[in-house]
């Protein structure tokens, strides 16, 4: 865990209301998946190269037609105004200042057009399949028109997973936030979320959204190689390996375990991204070595936003990018292309 992530988390615990904190921190079920995510990355060990020229470390990459300064992306998370009054606008500013791509949640608490204006850098838009298809179609088109360069279709949420420890209905002001983009009929509590989601959505939606908007569509929440192949066969331009921060089905395989299988299945066809429990440059280096082209950060961005607004988000992304450059150099990998599978090995009995 990066010291800054720890410090921003501690600060967030001080400034956030208890309901908002519980909403951000909680996972589904008994929270096994949420608790396991971070440790799963430490089940790998690095195999560094020696006597390699690492005088200049280059973290830039091209991802689905967008040039990026860092492989650290902001994961889509809901309701940023719970963390900071400037909400997603502040997140967008912080991400842009760090040269990091923002993925804006379908459940953003500010109009996506306002966030787009603040986003001086590239951004993607995350889509949930809603029971009334006019809602997700309308959002996808608005996002495209506002400048989103890809859509991220979250595939693990036919309805919202049960989280016994948090009920977002208790959070003051949440109803207004929910209505901002999706319409007032979408409500935040688990029971009505379930009614608003579209449990019978299929992979047909991938091609439909791509045809509707002309944008590449990534599928997020994939944890199996064969499922990744099914999504790519259906037209997915990228895959995001994710457990949804342990907030959907509990006791699923950690992202760190699923990632190599997904990369083996589709990594030669589309970029594979990953999120879940990434908290340091070493975690990110491990994910990249296992075949991820880029990684997304969820809760650390929420803590950074609560702790310091746009400046906090920028500090987080800059610090972790710098941390990544540092460990890449020590591992003998001066570019992202040099971060290859031979840099990691899995061990059976990690020291916890
Ligand atoms: C999420 N996540 C999420 N995913 C998504 O596709 N749409 C969303 O609106 C949200 N909202 C959301 C809210 C909160 C409070 C959390 C913690 C997470 C999941 C998110 O994109 C990502 O998969 C995880 O957060 C990554 O794990 P870490 O970095 O939080 O460990």
pLDDT, tens digit, for every residue of 138-167?
999 999 999 999 999 999 999 888 887 655
CA 15 to chain centre: 23
Nearest protein Cα to ligand 1, atom 29: 298
In the chain, the percentage of residues whose pLDDT exceeds 90 is 87
Query: How much is the pLDDT for 191?
Result: 45
What pLDDT is stored for residue 350 in this prediction? 75
Report the pLDDT value the prediction gives residue 195, as an integer from 0 to 100.
60
Q: With residue 211 as reference, give the H or E element that holds it.
A: helix 204-213
24 lines ligand 1 (CB under 6 A): yes
Query: What does the alpha-carbon distance between residue 183 and residue 2 come to, in Å, rounded to a whole number?
Result: 38
Verify whether ligand 1 is closer than 6 Å to residue 78 (CB atom): yes
Which residues sit opposite 294 in a β-bridge? Answer: 273
pLDDT for the residue 197: 85
Cα(69)–Cα(61) distance, rounded to whole angstroms? 7
Distance 75 CA to ligand 1 centre (A): 6
> Which residue has its alpha carbon closest to ligand 1 atom 19?
244
CB distance 124 to 151 below 8 Å:
yes
The DSSP bridge pattern shows strands 72-74 and 66-68 to be unpaired
Distance (Å) from CA 330 to ligand 1 centroid: 31
Distance from Cα 220 to the centre of ligand 1, integer Å:
11
| Residues in a beta bridge with 58 | 335
**Which residue's CA lies nearest to atom 15 of ligand 1?**
24
In the beta sheet, which residues pair with residue 275?
296
Q: Which residues of 314-347 are buried (b: 16+ CB within 10 A; e: fewer)?
A: bbbbbbbbebbbebbbebbbbebebbeeebbeee
- Taking the complete model, does pTM exceed 0.95, yes or no? yes
38 Cα nearest atom in ligand 1: 31
Write down the catalytic residue from 9, 80, 244, 326.
Answer: 244
Residue 277 CB–ligand 1 contact under 6 Å: yes
Given a cut of 70, whether residue 129 has pLDDT beyond it is: yes
Atom 2 in ligand 1: residue holding the nearest Cα: 77
Q: Locate the ligand 1 atom nearest the alpha carbon of residue 242 and give its number.
A: 23
Ligand 1 within 6 A of 220 CB? yes
The answer to whether residue 43 is catalytic is no
37 lines ligand 1 (CB under 6 A): yes
CA 207 to the chain's CA centroid: 22
Give the model's confidence band at 187: pLDDT under 50 very low, under 70 low, under 90 confident, else very high.
Answer: low
**What pLDDT is attached to residue 184?**
52
């Amino acid at each position: 865990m990066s010291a800054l992530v720890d410090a921003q988390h501690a600060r967030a615990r001080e400034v956030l209301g208890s309901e908002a904190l519980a909403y951000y921190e909680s996972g589904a079920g008994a929270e096994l998946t949420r608790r396991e995510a971070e440790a799963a990355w430490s089940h790998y060990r690095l195999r560094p190269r020696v006597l390699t020229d690492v005088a200049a470390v280059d973290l830039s990459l091209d991802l689905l037609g967008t040039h990026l300064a860092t492989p650290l992306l902001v994961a889509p998370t809901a309701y940023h105004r719970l963390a900071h009054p400037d909400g997603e606008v502040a997140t967008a500013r912080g991400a842009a200042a760090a040269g990091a791509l923002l993925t804006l949640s379908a459940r953003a608490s500010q109009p996506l057009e306002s966030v787009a204006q603040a986003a001086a850098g590239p951004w993607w838009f995350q889509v949930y399949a809603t029971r009334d298809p006019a809602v997700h179609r309308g959002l996808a088109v608005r996002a495209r028109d506002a400048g989103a360069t890809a859509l991220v279709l979250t595939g693990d949420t036919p309805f919202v997973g049960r989280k016994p420890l948090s009920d977002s209905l208790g959070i003051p002001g949440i109803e207004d936030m929910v209505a901002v983009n999706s319409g007032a009929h979408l409500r935040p509590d688990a029971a009505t979320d379930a009614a608003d989601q579209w449990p019978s959505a299929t992979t047909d939606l991938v091609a439909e959204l791509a045809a509707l908007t002309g944008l590449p569509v990534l599928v997020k929440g994939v944890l199996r190689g064969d499922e990744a192949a099914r999504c790519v066969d259906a037209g997915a331009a990228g895959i995001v390996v994710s457990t949804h921060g342990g907030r959907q089905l509990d006791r699923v395989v950690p992202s760190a375990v699923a990632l190599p299988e997904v990369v083996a299945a589709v990594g030669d066809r589309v970029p594979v991204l990953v999120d879940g429990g990434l908290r340091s440059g070493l975690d990110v280096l491990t994910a990249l070595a296992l075949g991820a082209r880029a990684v997304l950060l969820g809760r650390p961005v929420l803590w950074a936003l609560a702790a310091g607004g746009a400046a906090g988000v920028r500090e987080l992304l800059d610090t972790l990018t710098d941390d990544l450059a540092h460990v890449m150099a020590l591992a003998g990998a001066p570019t992202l292309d040099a971060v290859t599978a031979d840099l990691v090995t899995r061990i059976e009995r990690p020291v916890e």
